[in-house]
Amino acid sequence: MKVFDLQGKGTNFIAEILAGITTFVTMTYLLIACPAILAAGGAQPGSAYLSVCLACFLGSLLMGFIANQPFVAGPSLGMTIFFSSTLLTELDYTYTQALLITLLAGLVVLVFTLAGFQNAIFNAIPKSLKNGISAGLGIYMALVGLKNAGFLSTDSGGQWSLLNFSERGRSLWAVGLMFFGILLIGLFRKLHFGASTTLAILASGMVYYLGTIAARTKSLSSLSFRDLIPAPQLGSFNSEAYSLWGQKVLFKNLSEGFASLFFSDTTTWKTVLSVLVTIMICSLFNSVESNGVIYVTARGQLDENGHFGSLKKTMLASSISSSVSSCMGSPLLSVAPESSAGMAADGKTGLTAVTAALLFLLASMFPSVTTLIPPVITSCVMVLIGVNMLGAVKDIDFGNIAEGVPAIISMILIPFTSSVIDGIAVGLIVHMALNLLTFQFKSVKIIEIAVAAVFVFSYFMI
């Protein structure tokens, strides 16, 4: 296909389709987790699910055709949590007001991109910190995989614990299935099989459902490979559901939010100034997070100076996606780290993103598509992606405290706060402070100081 230049990028139609399927399957857990967070913030669960699916569909479609990269636009778990916990809870904005804020933030990011500001942000993040971000995302991806397989779990207080291997039941079988998938990928790669990741997911899925059938046949409920993450209560979707969503969510949220933020009886210059500051902070969060994820997922395409040639097109697609997602009732999107799954399955062009986009559209019409894909069958891929990303640790200069400490902080914060934003923000602040206090002024760029200052403001003033 000429539009994607498959031959020029050394790939083919089948490989790209399989890579897109792999990325979508790996991301299905987000189609459950993010709508649940939005529902806790006041959204109707079914509408939240539909909003996220359709936003991912349009965002990934834009990513494929504009950037021609195998990156998929997906809901940022960190941004979704920020939307729910900060905008809705701490700042006490209504759901419609918060959506308007994220829409305007997306438009600001779009202006940044068109003005070429994204290159400055991308280059302002120190290399050691970028490698710390990569390693932190790797730990996060691996933790998600281990948790989806039941190998690790967290209690209500956030304490991690290991599976009790003395107990027999679904968790033990699920862990076995995860390691089965890891071994398959290793074996397929050793034998130089193409699409080894996709084949391992398909094989794990077959074992999963064969095990379920066998357990039910023998009435051994304790051996049932039931989904480790409860299926969302999404209800049935049809033309009426879309119509209801269109009437109550699409654009209506934004018009109501605009009126209440800027033209209500309680609107003052102070409230407007507060809204504008919040918009700028949201836009910077989204911009920096996308830049960080792009660096991680595109490491193989960086030149000798660490620059990414398709950054502007990728960020253009990402910023448009973020604006569109707010119109549809979902917070800001970003480049999904799970895109690495499709790239590991040999995805190299925008056809990978377009394939995933069409599957998001299918999932919006048939929610059962999402719930039929248990997270345990993709846990092996998540763990191996994490292993690959952790390779960036070797490039961190641990001999320099001002470089090593910020990298380690980012590496720890990303997995344990589930937020790329916090990992990058705190890492930048610490990097700036340590370099200035140790008189390493040349290691800090003006743009880094400006971005870090905004993050400091957001942590201490909001």
Domain ranges of the chain: 13-461
What is the structure's pLDDT at 395?
A: 86
Q: Is residue 194 scored above 80 in pLDDT?
A: no
> What pLDDT score was predicted for residue 230?
38
pLDDT of residue 23: 92
The pLDDT of residue 235: 45
Highest mean pLDDT among 2-6, 173-177, 260-264, 446-450: 446-450
Residue 433: predicted pLDDT: 92
Highest mean pLDDT among 72-81, 257-266, 393-402: 393-402
- Digit-coded pLDDT (tens) for 143-190: 988 888 888 877 766 677 787 776 655 667 778 888 999 999 889 888
pLDDT greater than 50 at residue 301: yes
Provide the mean pLDDT of the chain.
81
Whether 248 shows a pLDDT value over 70: the answer reads no
Mean pLDDT value across residues 20-34: 88
Whether the pLDDT of residue 357 is over 90: the answer is yes
Q: What is the pLDDT of residue 160?
A: 79
CB-count burial class (<10 Å; 0-12, 13-18, 19+) for 264: exposed
Sequence-distant (≥ 6) Cβ neighbours of residue 429 within 8 angstroms? 452, 455, 456
Give 221's pLDDT tier (boundaries 50, 70, 90). Answer: very low
- Higher-pLDDT residue of 219 and 385 is 385
Look at residue 412 in the predicted model and tell me its pLDDT.
93
Q: Which tens digit of pLDDT belongs to each residue from 263-289? A: 766 767 777 788 888 888 888 888 888
Q: Which pLDDT band holds residue 388 (cuts at 50, 70, 90)? A: confident
Give the residue-averaged pLDDT of 400-417. Answer: 91
**CA pair distance 177, 39, nearest whole angstrom:** 31
Residue 462 has pLDDT above 60, yes or no: no
Share of the chain above pLDDT 90, in %: 16
Dump pLDDT digits (tens) for 107-147: 888 888 888 787 777 778 888 888 899 899 899 889 988 88
Of 461, 427, 421, nearest to 82 by C-alpha is 421
Among the ranges given (88-92, 291-295, 332-336, 458-462), the one the predictor scored with the smallest mean pLDDT: 458-462
